[in-house]
Structure formats: C-alpha cells, structure tokens
Structure 1
Amino acid sequence: MTTALSRHSDRRISSVFLGILAVTAVTGWATWTGFAEQPGVAVFLFVTGAWIVSLCLHEYAHARTALHSGDISVGAKGYLTLNPLKYTHALLSIVLPVLFVIMGGIGLPGGAVFIERGRIQGRWRHSLISAAGPLTNVLFAVVCTAPFWLDALDGVPADFRFALAFLALLQVTAAILNFLPVPGLDGYGIIEPWLSYDVKRQVEPFAPFGLLFVFALLWVPTVNGAFFDVVDSALSGLGVGDLESYCGQSLYRFWQDTPDICSISS
C-alpha cells in the first residue's frame, strides 16, 4: 500500500508545471484574441511558457523511456512529475535556454536526467532513451506547424501564426542540435552504446564541453549560415516561411521595434 502511494506521488504532475502550462494557455489566448495592449508581451510569455513546457516534455521522455527500459530510480528523483526544477540545475535547465532564445533565437538543449545505465540491458534501449528527448522536439515542431502544412491558416490571427512559427523554429533548432553526435548531446548518446570501450574512454573527458564547442562553432559566420540553412529547409518542409518565423522572433523581442513588413503581412 505504501509503495503504491509512493509510486503515485512520484508520477503526479507538479504544480510548477501546471502553473507554467496555465500561463502558456492564458497568454496563448491573449495572443489569439489580441486582448493584450502590447501583443509582443503576450507573444513573449506564450512562446517562453511553451518553450519551457517543451523542455519538461523532452526530459520526461528520456525518463519515461528509461523507466520502461529498467531504471525504476527515475520516479524517486522526480523526473516523472514534469517539474522543471527537478531537471538538474534551474540555471542550466531553464534560465540559460531562455536567455539563448532571447539573444539568438536558438533552442538550447536544457536540463538533464541522470539515468542509472547499469540497470538497463541492451544497446538499443540505451540508444532509444537518448533519442526520446529530441524526438519530442520533432513532434512538438510538427504540432506547432500543423496549421501551416495542413493549409488551415484561415481564421488564425497573424500574431498567433507568427508566434507558432517562431516556436517551431526553436523546436527545430533544439532537435538538430540534440541529434548532433557530439559528446554531451543526445546524438552522441544514441551512438555511444555501439562504440568500443577504448573510443568511449577517450571521448569521455570531452563530454562536459561538447555543447560549449557547438555554440562556439555557431559564432563562426559560415557555420551559423549553414546551420540556419538547414533549419530554414526543415521549416519550409513544414510549410513555414522565413517571413513568418522572422516576424515571430521580432514580436517575441517586444522591446524592439517590429519591422513594418510584419505589420503589412498581418
């Protein structure tokens, strides 16, 4: 009886996540209806809230897959409650990714769940645990862009359309970055079980610096341009144009002047 109650508590959705979800819903409604006097503020809160929700779902996907693969410790660690404060350090998990969204419109992979890999048998299971997170970002991007690729934009207010486009851009960048086979990122976690012991031992010291290395490369204009070419191609395949994601990012940065072209297109 006690074990069952404890298990239920370990999997109860946290009030923190529900609060973030409520803010996202209310500001999404405000963006749709134009209720807010400054639409950019509503877009900022809506996109930021939805982005944090996606971070929680990303880490939850890792934890849930690990649970079904044999690591029953994830429940006691709070990973199944969707509480963003449980996913490592709040600064690295929430604040830093949001700052990168504000500064550069890049979906920084944030948060982490610590899986007890010794409990899990089979290389495919280890790979699937790592893949579950970025696959969640892919699914989130598909859902955000559904009105675009379904050609169902009639009646969708321009500000809400722009906000969805920018949110989709963040999901696509997060998915691409996470799938890179770089130590410390999920892409490396997917291939790591298939590497030899010697290779893994040589790579292990570089794991803490993998993400920093990727973002240092993104400061190189040529690399940055190639990266966003891939992002734009993915968004185009989902029916989202450059103008829509650009206007969404402009609205998100409400403290800056919104370009006239966004007002005209709306």
Structure 2
Amino acid sequence: MSVTPIRRTRHGDSRISPIFLGIVAVMAVSGWAVWTEFASDHGFAVFLFVVSGWVVSLCLHEYAHARSALHSGDISIGEKGYLTLNPLKYTHALLSIVLPVVFVIMGGIGLPGGAVFIERGRIRGRWRHSLISAAGPLVNLLFAVLLMLPFALGAVDTWPTEFLAALAFLAMLQVTAAVLNLLPVPGLDGYGIVEPWLSYQTRRQVEPFAQFGLLAVFGVLWIPSVNVKFFDAVYTVMGWFHVPEDYIRFGYTLFRFWKN
C-alpha cells in the first residue's frame, strides 16, 4: 500500500511579495504627498493614492478567500502563491486587477472580481464553503470602516481637505465593492455564499452564467435610475460614519485629474 504525502504550506509560500510591498509604498508616499501638499498637482497624487489603495484592498480581498480556504482544508493554496499577496499570482489578473481598476476610472464603482482558484473538492461542509466566499467582501467592509473612522472621530475639522476627500472616495469604493459583491449573482461572492445550499440541478443550470455576472452587474448600474438609487443607499451607509457627500464627490473630482 502506498501513501500519498500531504503537501503542507511552507514558510516561503506565505512570505509577503515585494510587489505587494511596492504597491503599499506607492499608497503611503502618495498619501503623504496629498497630506503635506508636497505635490503641486493634487489630482495626480490622489489618483495614485486611490488606485494603489484600491489594488491593496483587492489583494487583501483575495488573500482572505485564500486564507479561509487553507484553514478549511485546501492545502494547495500555499503552492499557488495566493498567500504572498502578489496580484500576479491570481488565476485571472484581468478580472481581479485590470477590470476593477477600469471600473473605478470609468464610473467610480468598486467591483472586485474573483480570481483565486480553490479546490473545493478538498473542503467539507457547506458552512465552510460559504465562509470562504464571504471572507473577501468582509475585508472590504473592514477596510471601509477603517477609512471612515477619521470622519466619525471628527477629523473633518483638523485634517487636510484633499486627503480627507481621497479617503472618502476610497472608502466609497470599499462600500460599493462589499455591497455589490454580496449580491447573489452568479460569479460574485454573494452567490458563492448561497451556492452550497442550492440543489445540484440548480447549480448546474446557473453555472454557465457565472462568467457574465460581473459585467452584468456593471451594465445594470449604468441605468440612470438604478445608479441613483444605488448611490443614495451607499451615501446613506457612509452617512452613519459622518462622511460628507461633498467630500466623496470632491475626491472623485480630484481622482479624475485628467478632467480638471
């Protein structure tokens, strides 16, 4: 009788990637430039801060999926490089990084895409499958709360306006990402949460539409009436943390520096 050895995650499999650290450095430096007004062009500095911050959140989003899968039984996660936070290790860099950044530039909407390949057959229990799907959006929610805390604590009266505007816009992206990604639409994490509880026949019928879910949601948001109601709801949520709508809009204006 032969025994197949179980490959466990090595220390090197979870070492933080220099690429991710470089993106964090861009976020820190550009944030400092906005805060100190070191950059003569606030718009470009805000653009770098928001884009790098958005990519950082995307990496953390996918890392949360991967880490949850690892602890749920998929020990292949480490060798795939998902625990290094390196965005180049994702199975679909286009869906995870490029398209979400394009969505932000085009419409100011945060829509992360799924990109880590999880060997679901290694995982037992419907609750574990649901938790793996929920982990990503929960990271976006946590990131959003951290970004909105300065407003809740009264930073509007003391912090630089341009920096707060950048924070407000980046926080709005996190809120939209969490809300939209929790929708039970095939291809999004919201559907991944409920999928384990559906019948096998239903899952098979829905499966062909998963590849179009992300684009379908983005397309629906281009409908003016839907867009207005959606952002009214987002602003309401951010209002709970005393984030002024004017700061969000100002941040988006600064972000689109090429329009100024």
Calculate the TM-score normalised by the size of structure 2. Answer: 0.94
- TM-superposed CA distance for 1:185, in Å, is 0.2
Q: Which sits farther off after the overlay, 13-22 or 211-220? A: 211-220
SS in 1 for 2:156: coil
SS in 2 for 1:145: helix
In the alignment, which residue of structure 2 is the partner of 1:253?
256
Q: Which sits farther off after the overlay, 27-36 or 151-160? A: 151-160
Question: What is the alpha-carbon distance in structure 2 between the residues aligned to residue 6 and residue 107 of structure 1?
Answer: 32
- TM-superposed CA distance for 1:218, in Å, is 1.1
The C-alpha deviation readout for 1:96-131, integer Å capped at 9, x for no partner, is 211111111000213511111111111111000000
- TM-superposed CA distance for 1:4, in Å, is 10
Question: What is the alpha-carbon distance in structure 1 between the residues aligned to residue 185 and residue 84 of structure 2?
Answer: 29
Aligned with 1:13 (options 1, 11, 16): 16
Question: What is the alpha-carbon distance in structure 2 between the residues aligned to residue 216 and residue 158 of structure 1?
Answer: 33
Residues 1:93 and 2:91 are matched in the alignment: no
Question: In 2 relative to 1, CA 58–18 (structure 1 residues): closer, same or farther, beyond 3 Å?
Answer: same
The C-alpha deviation readout for 1:155-174, integer Å capped at 9, x for no partner, is 21001000000000100110
Aligned with 1:24 (options 23, 27, 32): 27
The within-5 A match list for 1:1-266 is: 7-257=10-260
Question: What is the alpha-carbon distance in structure 1 between the residues aligned to residue 195 and residue 7 of structure 2?
Answer: 35
**Amino acid in structure 2 at the alignment position of 1:22:** A
- TM-superposed CA distance for 1:6, in Å, is 6.8
Question: What is the alpha-carbon distance in structure 1 between the residues aligned to residue 8 and residue 190 of structure 2?
Answer: 36
**Amino acid in structure 2 at the alignment position of 1:139:** L
**Tell me, which stretches of 5 or more residues in structure 2 are unaligned?**
1-5
Report percent identity of matched pairs. Answer: 70
Contact 1:55 1:111 in 2 (8 A): no
Supply the RMSD in Å over aligned alpha carbons: 1.6
In the alignment, which residue of structure 2 is the partner of 1:263?
none
Question: What is the alpha-carbon distance in structure 1 between the residues aligned to residue 96 and residue 199 of structure 2?
Answer: 31
Contact 1:179 1:188 in 2 (8 A): yes
Question: In 2 relative to 1, CA 118–111 (structure 1 residues): closer, same or farther, beyond 3 Å?
Answer: closer
SS in 2 for 1:72: coil
Question: What is the alpha-carbon distance in structure 1 between the residues aligned to residue 185 and residue 145 of structure 2?
Answer: 25
Question: What is the alpha-carbon distance in structure 1 between the residues aligned to residue 177 and residue 14 of structure 2?
Answer: 26
